[in-house]
Amino acid sequence: MSDIVTIGIAEIQVRQGDVRFRCVGIGSCVGVCLFDPIAKVTGFAHVMLPASFADHEPESPGKFADTAIPALIAAMEERGADPTRIVAAMGGGAQMFRILGGGESLDLGPRNLQAVEEQLNKYGIACVAADTGGNLGRTITFASDTGAVFVKANSREDRVLCELRAA
């Protein structure tokens, strides 16, 4: 079995060949897994916030949805991926139990999810499955040898979310 590569917050990672990616500690953030099943190129991002700031360059493109997805796709293309074959799965976007006094700005989870979806749509990438929302922390694991995406919510056991395969 291939080594497990852990994805930290605001990080992006790309590998060609057999790999297991694990993204831990996903709260309101979104773990995005992109996979080209033919070239066997996997990209993973742990997106923290919806949009980068106009006044300064992000020190890490993986931090924001609007910089993470383009950077991830570009890095995957460098490893031989074809964007038209890439399929996606994602998880996260949790929110607080209740926000007293309203305030959609505090709904970071839904805002992050929407921003990631918009980016995937821009590139015409289909999201095969998603485990999102609620107020649970999540861990997402991807095994490129089978294409299986696993989700663990809080301490519950890993469960298969989907299998990423060629369309």
* Residue 127 appears among annotated catalytic residues: no
Residues 113-129: b if buried by 16+ CB within 10 A, e if exposed: bebbbebbeeeebebbb
Least distance to other proteins, CB of residue 136, Å: 5
Looking at beta carbons only, is 112 or 144 nearer to other proteins?
A: 112
Q: 3-state class of 111 per DSSP?
A: helix
Rounded-to-integer distance, Cα 145 and Cα 123, Å: 25
Q: Which residues bind other proteins (CB under 8 A)?
A: 9-10, 24-29, 48-51, 53, 59, 63, 92, 94-106, 108-109, 135-139, 154-155
Least distance to other proteins, CB of residue 6, Å: 13
Torsion over CA: 127, 136, 19, 6 (sign) = positive
Least distance to other proteins, CB of residue 106, Å: 6
Q: What are the two backbone dihedrals, phi and then psi, of residue 21, each rounded to the nearest 5 degrees?
A: -105, 140
Residue 64 DSSP code: B
Looking at beta carbons only, is 3 or 59 nearer to other proteins?
A: 59
Looking at beta carbons only, is 1 or 155 nearer to other proteins?
A: 155
As annotated, the active-site residues are 29
